[in-house]
Every structure is written in structure tokens, then in C-alpha cells.
Structure 1
């Protein structure tokens, strides 16, 4: 008799579990990448669903009171008003058949799944909708900004559109800038992936702007000409104008009126940084690919060995020697340097452009094509981080020699 009762109870509990699973809220999708809105912060295509995993847990950043978290797919959305130290379960249904069981966790002691977005405030009130930051274009082809970290003396920032986070040079920590190392993180560069130290909450001031709760990676750059790196994420959801003639960086809230001289290029985020399409023309053959739009690279063009091999580019151009490139991990990459006959960027063409072809594939980097600031500086640029477009207009550097002595 006891056995029958236990079996009956088991049937009831199983039935309840099945019914609970059936009543879970469901988000429909035809793509594996899901966008997330956490409070006022938007994260596009950051959540990769995995139906094969028993339970995918998204951990929210700490907050007080209540907060809205929205998961958005290509065809649907689901919204939760959440409270601290709670769990919220739902299902993501892929292609109408594959279920990915997902949970939102708001437990404050768990490591958040996403970095908090960066927002700036003005140090002084200004009667304008734009913010202007002066910069110096160095002989190293980099954009240099002057600012402070944690109320330090003046710090030299490199403005890097190819960086999805902010960085401090290891050698100045607790010498020029005081901060606390309280974690570590994997950092990916053009030369591979490395684990580096991290400081979670810092304050950056540049011109009239102030960012709080800024995470900084500590990278041991060799003989750097800068103290820190300001990644593009500091201006997310803004519109950035880089004027290489006036030497100013202007932050717009809305897209300004543009002349017909600007060419419009869509970009996509790959590995957290913007990539644009470039066309390489060799022997009347046109090759197209996505290139990292990288003001943090002081070179011209780089392509990975796989890209070169797939497009038969290894022996297709005039060789002018070899070069060594070094990314944020400090690894030296040997390149064969050639002359590209023609480069197309939107409506514009450039001729006899130096191109570096990596001799070997870089481990952990599938997209290793890069367009550096020795080319980008020749265009006044507007980057619309709201709509996902980059606008280029040739400036007074356009016809200056590209090849450096």
C-alpha cells in the first residue's frame, strides 16, 4: 500500500513539473544571437543560446529597487521586472522546435554576465547638445587625448575605435595613477588572446566629461607612447565625429547634416569592435572582406593568412619586404609586406597601398583583417553608434604619402 501511495505522489510531482515547464514564458527566435536590454543599457546580439545546455544563466549587474530586463530576438521580445536576489526562468524557442532553458539571476554576489555600460556626465554645465574634445594626431598616427584617471595628474589617452574596453598601461599603476587590481579577464588582440589583470571601478575625466565605474584592463605594453586607452564603448549610443583637420573629436546626440562628399558604410560588431567592408583590387580581381576599423592601429592594412590563402593573395602582389606587428598581448607577428594596387572604401579609391600579410594564422582570432589609422586619418569620420553606420570624407591628408620612411 505504501508503494502505491509513493508512486501516486511521484506521478503528481512529475505532472506538476511538466505543467510548470509548459507554463514558463517563451521567447521565439530564428537566430541563436539574442539582444538584451538591462535597465537603460542596450546590448546587441550578445547572448548566444545553447539548447544543448541544461540551463543558461544570465547574471544581471547589481541594482537597487526594481529593474527591467528585456531579451529581444529577431522576431519576438520578452520583458521581466526584476528585484535583487531573485531568479526568473523562461524558455527561448529556436526555429519553433529547440528549447533553450534560460534563467535571469539577480544575485548580487554572482559575477555579472555583461560589463556595465559606460555613461558620461559633464563636469560643468554647457548650453549645447554637442561635446568637443581636442586631440593631438601624433607622429605615431594615433589620436591622443589628455585626461585623468582617479584624480591623477595628466594622463595621455589613445582613442581606439578597435578597443571594446578601456585600458591602462601596467607600468604607471600606483605610480602615475592609483587604482586597485581586483580581478582578471581574457583580452583578445590582433596577436591572440591573453589573461590580464583588471580593476573594476575607476573614474576617467577628459575635457569636460566624466565617466564613473569604469573597468580598466592592465596591459604591459612595451615602450608605449601613451598611458591609457579609451575604447569606443565610452561613446556607445552616441555619434562621434573625428575631424583630423581641426584636431577635435565631437560627440553628437543626433546625426548632423552631412555634405554629399561623405560616403556611407554600414558596420557590424565582431568581437565587440566595429568592422567595415573593404574591397581589395588585385590584377582586375576584386576581393571583399570585413576589416576592423581600428584607430588604435598605427599601420595601414593587415590581412590574416587564411584570408590571403582563400583569396589567392599570397603571391599576387609586389613584395617590398617584411614587417613585425605587435598587438595588445605583446606577441610579435611576422608579416610579408606587399603593395596593394587599389583599395576601395565606399565611393573612394586609394592606390599603391602598403598591405601586410600575416605569415601564419593567429590563434583564437577568426577575423584578423585590419584597417589602421595611417589610412583612416585621411578621412574626416563620423561614426553613428546608434544606427550602425560610418561616414567618410577625404581631408587634407588624403593625398599625403602613405609609405613611411
Structure 2
């Protein structure tokens, strides 16, 4: 998507991986293809703000929407009411940390769950239930989101994501044969605490070159995040803006946003990439144990068709139709959400002080009705976000509802980065 809209879903589960995986010998916690005659399963997905959303069934549930997230270790349910409805049994509580808060969050660990997708079954699955109202992906994506799928799927399949046609193929690793395609590039990855990392170079605004280690996070819809605390060589561009970066455990997260000249190497190199800059010592309790310099999000990943192969420690990238699209950023200073997922009613969830939207009189919780005579009730949330990025440098007329009164205002979408 041509927007700067982030979901900061980088979870650090203290002591989690060893203790949960240690039970695997008693009850194999594996995903597998149900039909033994098949070696792969293909399905379609919804692409919302660069995120892959899959239809999933947990135990005896109706169809649920889960984000495919390479940046997390375990399956997560973010809907406590759903967990209660499924009569999930909890073994213990686990302390978790994430962006936006110095305090630990208590997650509930449930086991012996069945997770099913079309033609795929995972038995004896561990699920973490996170009862935190700040983690509300539904209002940020416009449809009901129930949770996230992480490492277990990537461990058990070779996963081929085609962002162009919104299809995903899960291949059985033992029978999969790579078919070389023109312009494809295979890159080695390192798995650290179940998460994939690559090492590549960036060229900064001052033309300096920095080699960085990046987490690959398909569950974060931004392009690139750089941790200023990880290296003295990482610099904030002179042309930058303080913007809303996303939602973490503690609520809204803000940071500097600018551009780097180049990201990556060879035929998959990207130019003028939007990057956010924050200090992990301020947004995360302590340093990352994996010594990352930053995170690659889905606004970069979705410019390729991607094959994740954890078994062989590699990822294959092939530029797709979006590869040469410019990286755009919402400079209005306001973030629009859908308070009631499924209904096309939109309001301002966050607004930056002294931004074009703020200076035009808009405030948090205003209901936005029209933008330049376009009725938002006829648009998806993804289409609304696109409007906020393509109108840069132009005047934008906004009709909004506040305290039962309809108002009009005009703002200029400045492009300073």
C-alpha cells in the first residue's frame, strides 16, 4: 500500500521458546497437509496495509482472520472474548514486552489447540492470549482481526507469498523443488530465537554506507525501522518529520521519519526508502538480545514475491509489479481508523501536534465524512489511507463530525521528506 501505516508487532517473550518447545516430543506440535496425496496447499489471502490476512479456524470456531507474522514466535490471539468463547484452558501466565511500554504485559498460555486452514491442520498448538485493549488490529485494518500466526507455520512449510495476485502456497519441505525464475535472488537468513534475520547494506542521506542486521517482519506494515541505539553510524536524515509510527503495548508510538538513499544490494536494491528512526532504549526495555539494527517491514516485502525457507535458512525475492512504486508517507499528521470493523465509519485515532491536520483544527475522535468530496463511507480503510498519501503538496478539504455538528476545514498536505 502507498501509505505510512504501521503495526508494531515485535514481541519479546521472555523464557518462552525453550519451555514451550520442550513439550514437543510428547505431543508433536506440527502443522501438516491433511491430504497425504498433496505436497502443497494454495489459498488466497486479504492484503490489508501490506499485511497478509489468512482465514483460520481455531478448535471449533467460525472463520477467523489472522495476520501472518514472521516477527513472532508463537500463535497469538488478541481477542479475549474469542478465547473465552472457545473455552481455552490456560497452563500459566507469561511476561511479555513490546514497543511503547516499559512495563511487562501478562499473556495467558493455552495448549492443546487445533488450528486449521484450508487443507492444513496444526494439532496440539500453543496459543498466547493477550488481553490488552491497546492491541486492536481490527480498528486499524477495518475488519475484525482475531490474532497472528508466527514461527510454527514458517517452521513446518516452505511458504511462497505472491503479493501480486494475493495467493499463498504452503509447500511440504521434503518434496519441494525450487524452480528458478528470472530476476529472483536468494539470500541467506539466520534464525535467532525463531525469528529470521538478514544482513544487508543501506546508503544514508549523507552517502555513508552501513551494514545492518535486520529482522524480517511480515507482520509490520511499515517499510523500514532503524534503531539509533544499535549503532553510532546510523543517522537521522536532515530532512525528517516527527510522525506517528504505530501502536504498541503502551499505545501510540512516535518517532522521526525520513528517507535513506538505498536499501539492499544487486538487482533487488530499493531507492529512496521511507525509514523510521527511534531509540530502542526509550521504546523497549533493554537492548535486543539478537543485536538487530532494525526491522524490514511489509512495505518492503510486498514489493517482491517472497519464498520463506526456514529449513534451508534462506529467503528468495523476486521483484513484482509494485517494485518500482515510490515510497510514500502520510504527511497529514492524522491517522484514521475504523472504530467498528466492518462498518465504513472512520474517525481520527491519532494526531500529531502542529501537523497540517492539527493546525487545520482537526482533533482526535473527529469522525471524517468527506475528503475532497469523496464519501469515506463508500471506501475501504485501505482506500482511505491511500488518499492521505497521494494528496501530498495539495490542499485537502475535510468534512468532519464533532459533538453532533458537521464542520469543514482545509489543510495542505506538505511533503517535506
Q: Taking structure 1 as the reference length, what is the TM-score of the superposition?
A: 0.66
Structure 1 or 2, whichever has the larger Rg, is 1
Mapping 1:6-405, distance limit 5 Å: 61=23, 118-123=29-34, 125=35, 127-138=37-48, 140-174=49-83, 177-191=86-100, 194-219=105-130, 220=132, 221-225=134-138, 226-252=145-171, 253=173, 254-282=176-204, 283-307=206-230, 310-314=232-236, 316-327=237-248, 329-345=249-265, 347-359=267-279, 361=281, 362-366=284-288, 367=292, 369-404=294-329, 405=389
Task: Considering Cα pairs closer than 8 Å and 6+ residues apart, tell me whether 1 or 2 has the greater RCO.
Answer: 2
1:318 counterpart SS class = coil
1:172 counterpart SS class = helix
In 2, are the aligned partners of 1:158 and 1:228 still within 8 Å (CA)? yes
In 1, are the aligned partners of 2:92 and 2:109 still within 8 Å (CA)? yes
Q: Point out 4+ residue stretches in structure 1 off by more than 4 angstroms.
A: 57-60, 190-193
Name the CA distance, whole Å, in 2 between partners of 1:382 and 1:168.
25
Name the CA distance, whole Å, in 2 between partners of 1:346 and 1:195.
44
Q: Deviations over 1:88-143 (max 9, x none)?
A: xxxxxxxxxxxxxxxxxxxxxxxxxxxx76312344x26432121321111x2210
Residue 274 (structure 1) shift: 0.5
In 1, are the aligned partners of 2:113 and 2:127 still within 8 Å (CA)? yes
Name the CA distance, whole Å, in 2 between partners of 1:200 and 1:237.
18
In 1, are the aligned partners of 2:308 and 2:314 still within 8 Å (CA)? yes
2:153 counterpart SS class = helix
Q: Taking structure 2 as the reference length, what is the TM-score of the superposition?
A: 0.64
In 1, are the aligned partners of 2:154 and 2:308 still within 8 Å (CA)? no
Change (3 A) 1:195 1:397: same
Name the CA distance, whole Å, in 2 between partners of 1:317 and 1:117.
52
The alignment's C-alpha RMSD in Å is 2.7
Name the CA distance, whole Å, in 2 between partners of 1:260 and 1:233.
30
Q: Which residue of 2 aligns with 1:10?
A: none
Long gaps (5+) in structure 1: 1-45, 48-56, 65-115
In 2, are the aligned partners of 1:323 and 1:337 still within 8 Å (CA)? no
Moved more, 207-216 or 255-264: 255-264
